[in-house]
C-alpha cells in the first residue's frame, strides 16, 4: 500500500483477506451437504439475527426490497391505500408500494438528522384524510445512513391514526435506539444484506424481523409462493422470496465479526468528527441512539462547494458519493405520484449539500488521516466551517 494509492469506498478484497478463511469454511460445508435452498444455515442465521436484536422471529429472504414487498403483501396493501414514507431514501422503499398498486405519499425529512420528519408526516396524513380518496394504511420509517428514525414519535402518530408501522432498516442493522438494537421498533422490520450494508453478504439477501407469531408464519408462507403446511397446499399468492443457503453461510461467518466491525466504524466516525469539524458540517446524531455507520455524510454550504470538494478528494485518491442527489418525488418514476404544489423543502435541497465519505472496517488509521487531510487542504473550504 503506497501512501497515495486510491482508497476504496467499499473494500471487499481486504474484507476477504481478513475474513475469507472463516467464510470459506462455512461455504464449504454447504458445498458438502448441497441443500442450496432452505438448508440448515438459513434457520441458523434466522436464530442468530433474532437473538442479536431480541426479536421473537426472523425470516431470511431474498433481498431488502423483497422483505418490504412481503411485509406490505402481508398487510394486503393495494389500490386505494396510502403508504407514507420519506422522500429522501433509496428507491426500493417506494417501489414496492407501486408494485402493489398502492400510492406512496412522500414525507419531508429533518434538516439535521435527515430522518423522516414527524411534523411533515402528520401534515401529509391529514392532507390524505381531507382529500378522502385514499385510505391511510402504513408508515414506512427508514433508518437512514445507520441511524434510527424517530420511532417514539412515529409510534405515537401511528397509534393516533390507526396506521401500521414498518421499519425499513436496510441501512442500519446493528444500530440502536434507547440502548436497544434496532429490529423491534415497528410491527415488522426489514433488513438488507446487500454487500455495502453494515452486515453485507456476497450477493443479495435480506430478512424480516417481527415479534408477532402470526405475521412470522405469514411471511414464511409468502416467501415460498404462499405455501401452507405442505408444499402443494397454496394458501395465497406469494413470491419466490427465499435467501440462498450459501448467502446465509456467508452471513453467519460475517456475524461473528459484526460487533468488532461496528466498533471500528464508530472509531472512524469519531476520528472524522474531530478532524473534519473545523472545515465542514459533520453528521448530526439522532438523540439516544448509536449509529451502525452505513454512511458518514457531511454537508456543505452549497452545491458548488460540495462539487469542488468532491473533485479535490478524487484527485487525492479519496472516493466519495452523493446519497441522494434527488428526492424520490423528483425522479421520473415517481413524479406522477406527487402533487408538485406540495413542497418538501428539506428533501428537495439536501441533494445539493450532502457528501458521503468512505467508512468501512477495512480503512486503516493512515487512510482515515488521509481522508481528513484531503478535506483540510481543499481550497474551496478556506472560508472555514459551514
Ligand atoms: C438497500 C436498501 C433497500 C433495498 O435492499 P436490497 O437488499 O438491495 O433489495 C431498501 N431500503 C433502503 C433504505 C436501502 O438502503
pLDDT value for 231: 83
Residues of the chain with pLDDT > 70, as a percent, come to 98
Lowest mean pLDDT among 199-208, 227-236, 266-275: 227-236
Q: Which residue intervals of the chain bear CATH 3.90.1150.10?
A: 258-385
Could you write out the three-class secondary structure of 106-127?
Answer: EECECCCCCCECHHHHHHHHHH
pLDDT value for 383: 59
pLDDT in tens, 315-365: 999 999 999 999 999 999 999 999 999 999 999 999 999 999 999 999 999
Number of H helices, E strands in the chain: 12, 12
* For residue 41, pLDDT beyond 80: yes
* For residue 2, pLDDT beyond 80: no
Distance in angstroms (rounded) separating the CA atoms of residues 386 and 383: 9
pLDDT value for 217: 97
- What does the pLDDT average to over 88-99? 98
Q: What pTM, to 2 d.p., does this model score?
A: 0.97
Ligand 1 centre and the CA of 86: distance in Å? 14
* For residue 3, pLDDT beyond 90: no
Ligand 1 atom closest to Cα of residue 68: 10
Q: Do 375 and 381 form a contact (C-beta atoms < 8 A)?
A: yes
* For residue 1, pLDDT beyond 60: no
CATH of domain 13-255: 3.40.640.10
* For residue 385, pLDDT beyond 60: no
**Ramachandran area for residue 44 (φ above 0: left; ψ -120 to 50: alpha; else beta):** alpha
pLDDT in tens, 213-260: 999 999 999 999 999 988 889 999 999 999 999 999 999 999 999 999
Ligand 1 atom closest to Cα of residue 144: 13
Question: Closest Cα partner for 9 from 139, 221, 149, 200?
Answer: 200
pLDDT value for 382: 75
Give me 229's grid cell.
Answer: 403446511
The answer, yes or no, to whether any atom of ligand 1 lies below 6 A from the CB of 93, is: yes
Q: Looking at ligand 1, which residue's alpha carbon is closest to its atom 14?
A: 170
Binning the chain into helix, strand and coil, the percentages to the nearest 5 are 45, 15, 40
Question: Closest Cα partner for 222 from 354, 371, 60?
Answer: 60
The answer, yes or no, to whether any atom of ligand 1 lies below 6 A from the CB of 108, is: no
Ligand 1 atom closest to Cα of residue 171: 15
Question: Which whole-number Å values give the CA distances from 152 to 118, 158, 260, 276, in the listed order?
Answer: 10, 10, 29, 31
- What does the pLDDT average to over 261-286? 98
Q: Scanning the structure block, which residue is given the C-alpha cell 415497528?
A: 186
Ligand 1 centre and the CA of 280: distance in Å? 28
Q: Mean of the per-residue pLDDT values for the chain?
A: 96
Q: Which residue intervals of the chain bear CATH 3.40.640.10?
A: 13-255
Ligand 1 atom closest to Cα of residue 143: 13
Indicate the pairing of strand 206-210 with strand 57-61. antiparallel
Pick among 3.40.50.2300, 3.90.1150.10, 3.40.190.10, 3.40.50.1970: CATH of 258-385: 3.90.1150.10
Could you write out the three-class secondary structure of 154-192?
Answer: HHHHHHHHCCEEEEECCCCECEEECCEECCCCCCEEEEE
* For residue 384, pLDDT beyond 60: no
* For residue 181, pLDDT beyond 90: yes
Helix, strand, or coil here: 200? coil
pLDDT value for 386: 46
Ligand 1 pocket mutation, candidates 61, 62, 65, criterion most atoms within 8 A of CB: 65
Q: Scanning the structure block, which residue is given the C-alpha cell 408444499?
A: 231
CB neighbour list of residue 130: distance below 8 Å, 6 or more residues apart? none
Q: Looking at ligand 1, which residue's alpha carbon is closest to its atom 2?
A: 170
Name the DSSP class of 224. Answer: B
pLDDT in tens, 142-164: 999 999 999 999 999 999 999 99
Q: Looking at ligand 1, which residue's alpha carbon is closest to its atom 5?
A: 64
Amino acid at each position: 500500500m503506497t501512501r497515495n494509492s486510491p482508497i476504496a469506498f467499499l473494500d471487499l478484497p481486504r474484507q476477504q483477506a481478513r475474513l475469507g478463511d472463516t467464510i470459506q469454511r462455512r461455504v464449504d460445508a454447504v458445498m458438502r451437504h448441497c441443500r442450496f435452498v432452505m438448508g440448515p444455515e438459513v434457520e441458523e442465521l434466522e436464530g442468530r439475527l433474532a437473538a442479536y436484536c431480541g426479536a421473537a422471529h426472523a425470516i431470511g429472504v431474498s433481498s431488502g426490497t423483497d422483505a418490504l414487498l412481503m411485509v406490505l403483501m402481508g398487510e394486503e396493501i393495494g389500490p386505494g391505500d396510502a403508504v407514507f414514507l420519506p422522500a429522501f431514501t433509496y428507491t426500493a422503499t417506494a417501489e414496492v408500494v407501486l408494485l402493489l398498486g398502492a400510492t406512496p405519499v412522500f414525507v419531508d425529512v429533518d434538516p439535521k438528522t435527515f430522518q423522516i420528519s414527524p411534523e411533515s408526516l402528520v401534515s401529509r396524513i391529514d392532507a390524505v384524510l381531507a382529500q378522502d380518496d385514499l385510505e391511510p394504511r402504513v408508515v414506512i420509517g427508514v433508518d437512514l445512513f445507520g441511524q434510527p428514525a424517530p420511532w417514539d414519535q412515529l409510534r405515537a402518530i401511528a397509534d393516533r391514526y390507526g396506521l401500521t408501522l414498518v421499519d425499513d432498516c436496510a441501512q442500519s442493522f446493528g444500530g440502536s435506539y434507547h440502548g436497544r438494537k434496532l429490529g423491534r421498533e415497528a410491527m415488522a422490520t426489514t433488513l438488507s444484506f446487500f454487500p455495502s450494508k453494515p452486515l453485507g453478504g456476497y450477493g443479495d439477501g435480506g430478512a424480516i424481523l417481527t415479534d408477532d407469531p402470526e405475521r412470522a408464519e405469514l411471511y414464511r408462507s409468502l416467501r415460498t409462493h404462499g405455501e401452507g403446511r405442505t408444499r402443494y397446499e397454496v394458501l395465497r399468492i406469494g413470491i419466490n422470496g427465499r435467501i440462498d443457503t450459501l448467502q446465509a453461510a456467508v452471513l453467519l461467518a460475517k456475524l461473528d465479526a459484526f460487533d468488532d466491525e461496528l466498533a471500528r466504524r464508530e472509531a472512524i466516525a469519531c476520528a472524522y468528527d474531530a478532524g473534519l469539524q473545523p472545515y465542514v458540517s459533520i453528521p448530526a446524531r439522532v438523540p439516544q441512539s448509536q449509529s451502525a455507520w452505513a454512511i458518514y455524510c457531511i454537508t456543505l454550504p452549497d452545491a458548488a462547494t460540495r462539487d469542488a470538494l468532491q473533485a479535490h478528494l478524487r484527485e487525492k485518491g479519496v472516493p466519495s458519493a452523493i446519497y441522494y442527489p434527488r428526492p424520490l418525488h423528483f425522479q421520473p418514476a415517481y413524479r406522477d405520484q406527487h402533487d408538485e404544489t406540495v413542497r418538501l423543502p428539506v428533501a428537495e435541497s439536501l441533494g445539493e449539500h450532502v457528501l458521503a465519505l468512505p467508512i468501512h472496517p477495512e480503512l486503516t488509521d493512515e487512510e482515515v488521516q488521509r481522508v481528513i487531510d484531503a478535506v483540510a487542504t481543499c481550497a474551496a473550504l478556506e472560508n472555514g466551517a459551514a
